[in-house]
Structure 1
Amino acid sequence: MHHNCPVCFEYLFDSTKDISVLQCGHTIHLECMNEMRAHHHFSCPVCSRSACDMSATWRKLDEEVAATPMPDIYQKHMVWILCNDCSATSSVRFHVLGHKCPACSSYNTRETRAACPRI
């Protein structure tokens, strides 16, 4: 805790505010974490890992992806992703709603580059 809060930049070690430890191990003011959640930001501001259990959200997103077919032009389009939760790198089908990590089932991913179309 000898560092600053990644949101408000106040030094945490001598702060009088309540402090929370995120699942990734980074520390943040509880007040700052609540402010992030109020603005629908659920990932660590330091490492981008999910800051809370997102499994219910991922299940809903699975349903949305299944209900939203991609146009023919994108059916074979693949992209490389990096998972912010487990650090796996994978090639997955492109979808406008999100890219699911095949290793941990998280949608907390980022596209790193386009891949060759699947034949």
Structure 2
Amino acid sequence: MRQLPHPATEAIQLTEVLRALADPVRLEIAVRLAAQTEQNCSSVLEELGVHKSTASHHYRTLREAGVLLTRQDGRQKYMRLRREDLDARFPGLLDTILRAARTDVTTVPDALPAAHGASAHGSV
């Protein structure tokens, strides 16, 4: 098992977190991960209906911003929110963003494929 490179907690920058979560697909990834402790990257990809390369870009952006922690186990990658680290750096920020996202129509899963050019069938 190996862990991919992530910024240290003290290196997480507010502007990078906000930039990463400003994208509707990345915000939806965070919302989905908030409900679970860890999730396989492939299962999130299937739920979002975006191409694999697009999902990889979003996962990397979230990881590099300090929003996600990603670990690799063989060929599988698993991710989870860095809730504790984000709360240490910016108390209440993640919960506030996630709460707002749940009421925002841009995070409705049915709206994602059309809004981001993916097919209605969510091909990968």
TM-score of the aligned structures, taking structure 1 as reference length: 0.25
Structure of higher RCO (CA pairs closer than 8 Å, 6+ residues apart): 2
The structure having more radius of gyration, on CA atoms, is 1
Higher helix share: 2
TM-score of the aligned structures, taking structure 2 as reference length: 0.24
Higher strand share: 1
